[in-house]
Chain A
Amino acid sequence: MSRLLPYPLLATSLLVMWILLNGLSAGHLVLGAIIGIAASWAMTALEPAKPRLRRWGLIPGLFVTVMADVLRSNIAVASIVLRGRRGQRTSGFVTIPLELRDPTGLAVLACIITSTPGTAWVEYRSGTGVLLLHVLDLADEQEWIDIIKGRYERPLMEIFE
């Protein structure tokens, strides 16, 4: 199984991408599967790190949480832009000590933080695991640390580690 499909996730995503681009039909299903498997064989030469998903069940919940948060912060940032009054809000940096070490998990966390308007991933130190965030509407530093650690980091650690 692992010799035929060294990277099952990669092969599946390539197949899904092929179907989305070309439409669902039996011919494209076969062609997409061949391309997916061939590409994952080619990838074995590069030997990328294999992300291991431990708990699939948490992914939909995290996805829904992130979508809701993105929508909420879209509204929040849009209202900040519309109000346009400077001085009512303070923006600033927050340092967050992360326990998450898995590279794929960190990449997903970077995608989540970046796609949430109002928070920007500035710097991450892999030596200490300290993340530097910039927050547009910084009312309470501890609140943001709790949000990032509780809402995103904990489920990501359970999924990837």
Chain B
Amino acid sequence: MTHAADLPAWAALPTAFFLLLGSGLTLLGAIGLLRFGSFYERVHAPTLGTTWGAGGILIASMICFTVLQSRPALHEILIAAFVIVTTPVSLMLLARAALYRDRTENNGGVPAFEAESEGTDGEASPKSSDQKQTKGQ
């Protein structure tokens, strides 16, 4: 932080802009998490923080340290790549757990489990295999 004063104005301005953009979006995501009603709506809000929220802060970091060290600091790209790749895993885990709970408790507002559309296992009813055949033709 002591080196922050060495940053020239032309670099400090975009750094500040992207830092504010990123942290602002992350804050909005957190507010959304509080405000939205259901679980499935809440799940949308933190994605603000994992996309342009994180992206803005990383771009600011890239500008700042590239100028300070006078060589490209690009390893932030890796952080962005790993965030993008790992977010769907945790999101799917949470969403499917919530869906499973809502279906077993019959909470409503959730699409029903369509066992017959699974089709491949032995439990499939003859009706569904008929449907599959007509689809295939």
Contacts and interface: CB of A to CB of B under 8 A. Distances in A.
Contacts of A20: 74-75, 77-78
A77 B52 CA distance: 12
Interface stretch (B1-9, B11-19, B27-35): B27-35
Interface in B58-76: 71, 74-75
A107 B88 CA distance: 9
B48 A74 contact: yes
Contact of A21 (B71, B75, B99, B119): B75
B25 to A, nearest CB: 6
Given A91-B41, A114-B87, A121 B50 contact: no
B78 A114 contact: no
Contacts of A122: 40, 92, 95-96, 99
Contacts of B99: 122-123, 132
Interface in A118-155: 118-123, 125, 127-128, 130, 132, 134, 136
B78 A74 contact: no
B120 interface: yes
Nearest to A130: B117
Contact of B32 (A21, A77, A116, A128): A77
A82 interface: yes
Interface in B73-101: 74-75, 77-78, 84-85, 87-88, 91-92, 95-96, 99
Contact of B44 (A86, A117, A127): A117
A27 interface: no
Given A20-B77, A123-B99, A134-B40, A81 B45 contact: yes
Contacts of B47: 77, 114-118, 120
Contact of B110 (A82, A93, A114, A127): A93
B136 interface: no
A125 B92 contact: no
A116 B48 CA distance: 8
7 contacts: A20-B78, A23-B71, A78-B28, A93-B40, A95-B111, A125-B114, A127-B119
Top 10 A-B residue pairs of the complex, sorted by shortest distance between their CB atoms: A81-B32, A114-B88, A117-B47, A110-B88, A136-B44, A122-B95, A134-B40, A74-B52, A127-B118, A20-B75
Given A122-B96, A123-B95, 19 more contacts: A17-B78, A21-B75, A70-B51, A74-B51, A74-B52, A78-B28, A81-B35, A81-B48, A93-B111, A115-B47, A117-B48, A121-B88, A121-B95, A127-B118, A128-B119, A132-B111, A134-B40, A134-B44, A136-B44
